Amino acid sequence: MSDEITTLMKVIGETKGVNGIIFVSKDGTILASKGALEDDGTLVAFAGNASNDASTKFTFGKSNHMRVYGQDYKIFIINRPDHYIGVITEKDAQDSQILLKAGG
């Protein structure tokens, strides 16, 4: 695990409302995880790639971040050049704080 991922895991993981964090390569390989399930990694890679595919078909360019909502959780997905960061949170977690800590 790279120093960057280790640092981001610690910093983002300390944010109020964060229940888990997962780093996933663009091809779906889990790079690191804490408090997240393997299925979360699959969802992060699928949603991240789908969002990029859709947004580049228009003039928007690649998306920076996106959210996936469930009944009692949300996954905040941050697009990095070579991987995605999936942050599993409570519904009322502050995405802006997570994005700020992720450097996005």
- CATH number of 71's domain: 3.30.450.30
Which residues form the domain of 52?
A: 3-102
Question: Which two tokens mark 92?
Answer: 């009322």
Answer yes or no: is pLDDT of 34 > 90. Answer: yes
Long-range contacts of the stretch 74-77 (C-beta < 8 A, 24+): 75/40, 75/43, 75/44, 75/47, 77/44, 77/47, 77/48, 77/51
Count other Cβ atoms within 10 Å, centred on residue 38: 10
Q: Report the pLDDT value the prediction gives residue 60, as an integer from 0 to 100.
A: 66
For residue 7, name the pLDDT band (cuts at 50, 70, 90).
Answer: very high
* Predicted structure pTM score: 0.86
Count other Cβ atoms within 10 Å, centred on residue 80: 19
Task: Find the range with the poorest average confidence among 22-31, 34-43, 49-58.
Answer: 49-58
Give the count of domains, the chain. Answer: 1
Give the mean model confidence (pLDDT) for residues 50-56: 79
Q: Give me the residue label for tokens 């802006």.
A: 96
